[in-house]
Each structure stands twice: as structure tokens, then as C-alpha cells.
Amino acid sequence: MMLLWLLLMAQLAWPTSALYHEKSLKVFQPGDLKSPLRKEANFGFSIAYQSATQSLIISAPTADYIGRIYSCDIELKRNCTVVPYDIKRDDPLYNHDYWLGATVKAGPDYFVTCAPRYVEVGSSYNLPGEFSHCYRSSKHSKLLPISQISSQQRRVNTKKFEDEMDSFGWSMDLKDRKILFGGPAMFSGRAMASADSAITSISGHSKGVDVKYNLGYSVAIGAFFSDKIVYAVGSPFGQNGRGKVVFFNKDWKVMSSISHKNIGTMFGAVLATAHIFSDSLTDLLVGAPTEAANHDYDTGAVYYYKTGSRRSVQMSIEHTKIISGYQPGSLFGSAIISVGDLNGDGKDEIAIAAPYEDEGKGAVYLYCGSSFLDASSNVLLQRLQPEGLHTFGLSLSSPSDYDENGCNELAIGAPQDNAVVLYKCLASVVLTVFAVFPNLRDRRNVKSPYPDRNETYFVFDSCFDVKYPKKLKTVIAKIEVTVQIKHPDATLAMPHKDGKYNVTLDIKKTRYCEKIGVSTPEHGNYNIKIFYNIQARLVNSPINETDFDGKRVILSGRSELSISDNVWAAECKVQNACKADLSLKIATSPRGSYMIGSMEPIKVNMILENKGEIAYDACVELQLEGAAMKKTPTTSCTHHPLTNTLKCAPSYALKTDKSWETTDIILKTETLTNKNKQINLTSRLYEHCTDPATFKEQNYTITVLANSEGITVNGKTNIGDVVSMTTLEVTDSGKQFQHNYMIQNDGITWEDVTCEIILPKLPYVNYPQKAVTVFIQQNSFECNMTDDLSPDYITANCKLSSIKQNIITFIIVLIQVPPTTLDDILYKQNVTIKSTLKLHFDDGDKTYSVATEVMLRDTGIPWWIILLAALIGLLILIILILILRQYGFLKRKERKKLQELRKSVRRQTVRRSMMQQQVEDRQRLTDVPIEATETDVPCGIEPDHRVEVNIK
């Protein structure tokens, strides 16, 4: 159950302040010590306030067999005296209590009460019966009887003796000296009305009243449908257990009725009136103290009827709001009262009692009246529950503003403990905070407290209005005001740089304003609005004080203690709309075109000019296509590499006829190649950076030029520019050699370069299927051969994906001279085989040719060999002659042998010469492709950078 109670409490706006001062409460108890009250006296069962004597009229209906009425001075604690009366028991045989004071109601200088269980023998049947007696206080405070209704009036609509009895006084209401009595206990219940002391009419059991039980359990007087007085009479059980409220006109004719749909809620047990929706018409609150949700019991509820919303004689359930209790068994709605307007909103606040909440301790809830008009929420102002009392809230009374501080007090009965608690009301004032700003375009004309600073200045008024209660004569309160400014540039100025100041309220003054200065630097961005917040609070609230002081006030819940807004301080003619006239210039260096490989980089500058009103949040967006940004401004710009976009904005407002320029934006040109034909710059000028949909766009193009001067082409035949063929090669083996081309790049990188190798179609030249091979670093590929383009030439097409800077490209062309193809030619003349390499560049072609002359090698013995052989032979001959002569062999018979020896020497000489020539020829026939490494390059080429070339 406790959890359910907490959940229900959470649905409320729980009170954060109080309207009644709890620490100074007064507890009234009877002070007649000569005849002390018994425990069951029910002191506080009913309470009324008599304003002329500033006294609480408190009943104790079971203090003795008749009951007592006490008058308690509201200013003096425990000063309660018994109101004298002359009431005696007529028949001693009937000793039950008369319950004098079951209900008390008071006017300014009198009060009325009844003894609803009074017994007398006074009927037409001369039998004792229960016939209520009612009384009114006299000038001397003695109770005087009010004339009873006649026997004839009692017999209206009945002929039975039992039906003549009544119990008027169990409920009562008083308005403009008109008294309405309810008598629910006898017959089916009755109600009667009286003007002062003369009873004028009685309802009786009139025709058309569909009620069988307890009519008159509660009564109320009000202008519910029009300005005419209407009687509301409640029956918590109605016709069949469903509570009902019947409305009568002054002639006791039924006008309308409302009822509850459920049985057992005791709907109509309590009625109360208030002015919430309308000042002239009366709203009705109906208690249903035993209403409960499923599985709960006696939680209670109060139904609000916005009767002032309709001028017809009908009232329907659709015009209600339900305020439910918080704990099962609390009987929420057992007492309801309007305590008047406490917070200054012109609507009555409502107190509702739950006298059995918290295991019988009881509690009283105070609600804001205006929240009754909102079906979705209940604004709880305060919950009252003093220590040590039980059945607290069984009776309620709202003494009028006796201390004249602007609000009514609240008296609450706890009859189980014979006590009445009086709470004094803290007057509330309504504060409304606001600000008044000047024309901020003229702030330059206001003298700044900082004349040495380059800034402007303006002053605004921080104000609040105060609405005091009408009766309040003196007020004691101090208000602290806090002012905050939020802006990138604007700040509070002296003497309120900390944003705080205090104000002491004066009852004669309703508006309080303070001058607040704001510094606005010259180059501030005032297209951003200046946010301000002003808050007010009460210093040293009297709620926490032990003693009550009627001059101390609290702040009403209706107060507007905080205000937040934005002001526009731009120096423009039209509010919130500066009309700038912006233009953007883009300057590049070099202008128009750029040669790749130039020593100077590409620089871009943006110049923003304004010919119109001040521009606070202009910005420029520059997007590049074709080159990346290498260096961008470190301030005022933001680079987005993923989109190659630069967004720049001035760090200050751009005033009329002023310009702003970016620092150099340097483009990254190192990676540019011949493929980059142009660099496109797209600029977007935004007058308001916060509005990306509105901009001016410009396009600017830088033409990119490529120069092939850094590329050089060389070539050689791998075995020399002149190639000799032996007879044997011409006839049998043929000849093979290579044209080696080397492309060296000392300039920019070129991509997708077309290369052509033009090879002659000759009858004595043959090209293998993969005659042309390109070597780039560690990679190689063959070129496509095409021989149908010309009858004279074969073309090899090579697509060079890139010719990178400082990288050498080798192109090897294999040329074969088949055997027998030069038989008849070389004997007559030499032949030349020429290939041509063409590189196609944007700025022109580069061509280089390699020519190889082929000739027949002579097979005769060189003269120097013959001369050498002759000399050697001559020397040998001389030696032989000398030897023969020495031994006598120079005879005729030896001459023939000598001739044969000479022929043998000649043959050996010739044979050695031929063997040497065959060795050379064999070496030429076995020539193979060479491997070129970093130290071994084809054809004796000596490049700056050597690479490996494998030819198979």
C-alpha cells in the first residue's frame, strides 16, 4: 500500500513552498478547568469563525449529554470559554446525547448551531420524538433558540408520526444571512431554509425527488446556474446506494441533479463552494470519501464541477475534474473548504482533508485553484500534518484575514484529540520579471565605462513588477536578481559585472528597474543573438523562520521569476536581416596556367569585399579538382581533405567598404603529371554561413602544361654500329644483334605515353614474335607488332604507363639476319638496318633512330701474319743451313729433302691461320642476349643509373 501511495504522490507537482506558516501553528483546547472535557468530547468536531470578535467557534458535541460550544480568542492560546445556553432534558427517560454543535456556522457577529438529536414530546400524537432544536448566539454570547417548524410543516407529504421527526443541523450552510439546514437522519432526509431566525420553508418528501436515504447529509448555497440562489442538497446513498446531489430553487422545486455511477462511494457526503472559473457564479466541489480503486478501500475523491461554464439549468458529469486521495482508508474528501485567493491569481485555493491518512493521523492538502481548470494536473501547494494528533482534518474553517496581511488563515479540527490547530497565512506577492532593451543600433552613442577599449556599449533595464495583496499595509522582503549574458563577444559591464543586485520591496512601489550595462567589442559577431536570462529569488524566506511576522511575504506560485530571451545587436536597418553586398575575388600565382615542374608552387588567395551592410557570418568555401592542398591558412579556415574543400570565414564582422583576405593557399604540384590538364577551383560565397542553401558560385580554371624537355632518348647496337658477317655466317648460320634504346627522364613524370618502334621490312631481316621488350625497373613487357600498316615497315606499339622522374626505361629490339639472305649482296656492298623509336608527348614527338651497318668479313691472311711467317721461316732456314753446313749436309743429294721440308713449313703456317679464323667465326655464331646489371649495361651504354636486363 505504501508503494501505491508513493506512486500516487509522484503524480502531483509536489509543493516546493508553503502558504501557511507551520512553525507558528496554534493548538486550541478548552480552558474550562472546572469542568474538564471527557476524552470523547469531540472538541473541534465543527469550527466557524466570528470576525467581529476574532474568535473561533468550536463545538464539542459529546462533551456531555447535550454538547458544548466554545468561543476561542484567535490571538490568545488556550483561551477558550464555554458559550452559555439554557437547554434542559425534557424527558429524563431518554438520556442519549443531543449533539449540540454537530455543525456550527458563523456570520460576522453571530453563529448558528443545532442539537439534531433533541428529544421532546411535541408532536400532534403527544409522543416523545426526535425533533431538532437550532440556536443562534445573542449579543451577550448566550445561545437563543430559533423558532421551530410547525406541526403542519412537519406533516408535508406524510401522515405517519415517524415521518414527522427530523434531525436538522447535521449539516448546515450560511450565505448572506440565509441559512440552509440538512436533516438526513429521519424520514428519507430533509432540508430546510431560514432567513435569520424565521424558518420560511421546508423541503419535505416532495414529489420528483428520487432519493430514499439521507437527503440533507450535506448542503450548500450558491449561484450555480445564474445569479439566483440555488440549494444543493446531498445524499450519499441516493435511491439505490449511488450518491446524488439535488438542486432546488428557493421554492424547493427540483432544478437538476448529479449522481455517481458507482455504489458505495458516498458521493455527496460533503459539499463545498468556491469561485474558480467565474467570479460571479459558484463552482461546486463534491466529496466521495469512500471511493476506491479496485482492491483498495475508502481512499476517497473530490469531484469538481465547473458550474459557471453553463447558463442553463442542467449540470452534467462531463464538466468535472476528479482529485483522488493517496492512501486507502484515508477518507480523502471528508472535509472540503475554499480558503480564498492565496496566490493572487483571482481563483480560490482549495483545502481537502484526509482525516484518517497515515493510520488515523490525518492530513490536509492545499491545492492551487487554477489547476482545477486543467484536467491533466493537480498543483499541490502544501501538505499539512502536525505531530501528535489524530483525525486531523475532520473539520475545516477558513478565518477571514484577521491580521490584514492579504490572505485567510486555516483552522483544522482533530476531534479525537480534542484539538483545533490554527495556521497563519503567509501573504504572497506576485513578481513578474521582464527586461526593456533600447535600440541597439544606436549603442555607439552610449558612453562606455571603458573609454580606452575598442568597443561599443549599451544599457538595458532589468525589471520586475510586484502585485501586493489588497489588505497588506507593510511589507518586508528582499529580492535578489541575477542577470546572465551569453554571447561569444558581449559581456556584462561594471557596476554589475557579476550580474547580481538586491532590491528591498516597498509597499508603495510596484515596479523596480535596474540599469544593466553590456560591453560589445567592435569586431564582435552580433548576427549571433545575445542571450540573456534574468532570475529573481526571495532572500531569507519567512517559511523557515520560527516566529510569524504578518509583514513578511513569500513569492506566489504565479510569479514569473525567470525570463530568458535573445536580442539582436547587429548594426542593420531591418531587425534580424542585415543586407550585405559581398563579392569574392580569387587570385592565383601564376595566373591562368602552370607549367609542371616549375620551381614556384601554385598559390591561391581569396579576397572578400563588402559594399553593403555589415556582414557578421559570411564565409567562403573553396573546392579543388585536379590538385590537392599542400598548405592552408592556420586561422579562420578549416580544411576537409576527404572532399578537398577549404571553408574560410573572417574572424570579425566585415563592415561596409571593408575587405578580408586569406593568406596563401599552396597547392600540391609535386604529383602533377601530363594527365592533369587543368585545376578547377569552385568557390561558394555564403552571406550567412548558417544558411548553406543560399550562396553565390564561381568557377576558376588553371591550365596545367607539361614539358617533355627533361626526357632524353639514346640507342646503340649491342655489338657495335658496324656488324661484320663471315662467309660462313652469310651462308650457314646467319647473324643476330640488338638495338638497345634507353629513355632517361630528368623532368616531370609522364603517364600513358605512346611509344612506336618502326622496323624496316627487308628481305634479309627477320623479327621474332616478341621482338620488342620494354624494361622498367624490375618489370618488363612485350610490345604488340603490327605489319599491315605499311609495305615498307613493321610497327611495334608500346604503351608506357609512366615515365617517372629519374627512372630509366630500356627498350630492346631483336634483329635477325637469316642465312643465305645476303649471299649476293654483301659481296657487292654493305647494307644498313635502321630502327626508329618515336615517343608521343603533348608538346611534340621525340624520335631517335639506331642504324647498324652489316658488311662481309675478308678471309685472306693479313700481311703482317705473312711477313711474320716469312721472317720466322727465313730465320729457321738460316739456322738449318748453318747446321747442315756444319755437318756437311749441303750436298746435292740433300737438296731434294730440303725442298720438301720448305713445303711442309708453308702448309703448317696456312693451317694455323685458317684455324684462327674458324675460332672467331664460331664465337660470332654463338652470340646470345646479354645480362645487364648495375655494372653491365647493353651495348656499352653508360647511363647514370644501371638496371638489370635479361634477354633470352
**Together in a domain, 665 and 763:** no
Residue type, 539: V
What is the CB neighbour count within 10 angstroms for residue 632? 18
Q: What share of the chain is helix, strand, coil (3-state, %, to 5)?
A: 10, 40, 45
Q: Is residue 712 part of a domain?
A: yes
The per-residue pLDDT for 13 is 41
Q: Is residue 851 part of a domain?
A: yes
Q: Is residue 659 part of a domain?
A: yes
The C-alpha cell 632518348 sits at 713
**Together in a domain, 641 and 686:** yes
Coil, helix or strand at residue 911: helix
Place 947 in a pLDDT band, splitting at 50, 70 and 90: very low
Residue 945 has pLDDT above 50, yes or no: no
Residue 288 has pLDDT above 60, yes or no: yes
Element (H, E) at 854: strand 844-856
Q: Is residue 574 part of a domain?
A: no
**Together in a domain, 715 and 686:** no
The per-residue pLDDT for 12 is 43
Judging by DSSP bridges, how do beta strands 478-486 and 410-414 pair with one another? Answer: unpaired
b/e burial code for range 901-929 (CB count within 10 A of at least 16 → b): eeeeeeeebeeeeeeebeeebeebeeeeb
Residue 929 has pLDDT above 90, yes or no: no
CATH of the domain at 438: 2.60.40.1460
Cα–Cα distance, 459 to 517 (Å, whole number): 4
Whether the full predicted model's pTM is greater than 0.85, yes or no, is: no
Q: Answer whether 363's CB lies under 8 Å from 387's CB.
A: no
Judging by DSSP bridges, how do beta strands 711-717 and 772-776 pair with one another? Answer: unpaired
pLDDT in tens, 395-454: 999 999 888 888 999 999 999 999 999 999 999 999 999 999 988 876 665 666 666 666
CA distances to 75, 208, 406, 450 from 402, rounded to whole Å, are 10, 44, 9, 55
Q: Is residue 576 part of a domain?
A: no
What is the overall mean pLDDT for the chain? 85
The per-residue pLDDT for 892 is 58
Place 37 in a pLDDT band, splitting at 50, 70 and 90: confident
Cα–Cα distance, 684 to 758 (Å, whole number): 52
Over range 277-287, report the average pLDDT.
89
The per-residue pLDDT for 616 is 85
Closest CA to 533 of 578, 503, 499, 574: 499
**Together in a domain, 382 and 474:** no
Over range 854-871, report the average pLDDT.
79
The C-alpha cell 458505495 sits at 264
Cα–Cα distance, 543 to 744 (Å, whole number): 97
What is the CB neighbour count within 10 angstroms for residue 628? 12
**Together in a domain, 728 and 609:** no
**Together in a domain, 93 and 139:** yes
Q: Cell numbers at residue 431, please?
A: 513578481
Q: Is residue 930 part of a domain?
A: yes
The per-residue pLDDT for 602 is 94
**Together in a domain, 362 and 483:** no
- Residue range(s) defining the domain that contains residue 23: 2-426
CA distances to 443, 541, 683 from 665, rounded to whole Å, are 38, 64, 14
Over range 786-792, report the average pLDDT.
83
Query: pLDDT exceeding 90 applies to what percent of the chain?
Result: 53
Radius of gyration of the chain (CA): 61
Over range 170-176, report the average pLDDT.
93
Q: Answer whether 149's CB lies under 8 Å from 186's CB.
A: no
Residue 951 has pLDDT above 70, yes or no: no
Q: Identify the bridge partners of residue 380 per DSSP, sorted by sequence position.
A: 367
CA 117 distance to own-chain centroid? 69
Closest CA to 221 of 261, 154, 274: 274
Q: Is residue 89 part of a domain?
A: yes
Tell me which of 689, 705, 721 is where a domain ends: 705
Closest CA to 230 of 301, 154, 314: 314
The per-residue pLDDT for 864 is 79
Over range 814-842, report the average pLDDT.
92
**Together in a domain, 547 and 592:** no
Cα–Cα distance, 337 to 353 (Å, whole number): 9
**Together in a domain, 750 and 696:** no
Q: Cell numbers at residue 757, please?
A: 618502334
Tell me which of 650, 675, 705 is where a domain ends: 705
Cα–Cα distance, 308 to 812 (Å, whole number): 111
Over range 63-89, report the average pLDDT.
87
Judging by DSSP bridges, how do beta strands 645-648 and 128-130 pair with one another? Answer: unpaired
> Among positive and negative, which fits the CA dihedral 437, 443, 447, 450?
positive
The per-residue pLDDT for 200 is 54
Coil, helix or strand at residue 881: helix
Query: pLDDT exceeding 70 applies to what percent of the chain?
Result: 84
Which of the pair, 7 or 174, is modelled with greater confidence?
A: 174
Q: Answer whether 216's CB lies under 8 Å from 241's CB.
A: no
| Of 15-24, 63-72, 701-710, the least confident | 15-24
Tell me which of 426, 447, 473 is where a domain ends: 426
Closest CA to 719 of 852, 856, 848, 917: 852
CATH of the domain at 687: 2.60.40.1510
Going through 437-546 in order, the beta strands assigned E by DSSP cover 455-467, 478-486, 491-492, 500-504, 511-521, 530-539
Element (H, E) at 545: none
Burial class (CB in 10 A: 0-12, 13-18, 19+), 114: buried
pLDDT in tens, 351-408: 999 999 999 999 999 999 988 888 888 889 999 999 999 999 999 999 998 888 889 9
Residue 228 has pLDDT above 50, yes or no: yes
Residue 918 has pLDDT above 60, yes or no: no
* Cis previous bond, 590, omega within 30: yes
Place 335 in a pLDDT band, splitting at 50, 70 and 90: very high
Q: Is residue 228 part of a domain?
A: yes
Q: Answer whether 431's CB lies under 8 Å from 401's CB.
A: no
**Helix locations, 259-366, DSSP H:** 357-360
**Together in a domain, 635 and 769:** no
pLDDT in tens, 651-663: 888 989 999 999 9
CATH of the domain at 779: 2.60.40.1530
Query: How many residues in the chain?
Result: 952
Burial class (CB in 10 A: 0-12, 13-18, 19+), 723: buried
Element (H, E) at 193: strand 190-195
Q: Looking at the 3D structure of the chain, how many domains does it have?
A: 4
Cα–Cα distance, 389 to 411 (Å, whole number): 14
Cα–Cα distance, 351 to 369 (Å, whole number): 10
**Together in a domain, 235 and 170:** yes
Over range 18-40, report the average pLDDT.
81
CATH of the domain at 227: 2.130.10.130
**Together in a domain, 670 and 680:** yes
Q: For residue 801, is it left (φ>0), alpha (ψ between -120 and 50) or beta?
A: alpha
Indicate the DSSP class of residue 730: I
The per-residue pLDDT for 357 is 97
| Of 84-88, 125-129, 276-280, 460-464, the least confident | 125-129
pLDDT in tens, 582-593: 999 999 999 999
CA 233 distance to own-chain centroid? 55
Which of the pair, 328 or 786, is modelled with greater confidence?
A: 328
Residue 777 has pLDDT above 60, yes or no: yes
Cα–Cα distance, 214 to 242 (Å, whole number): 12
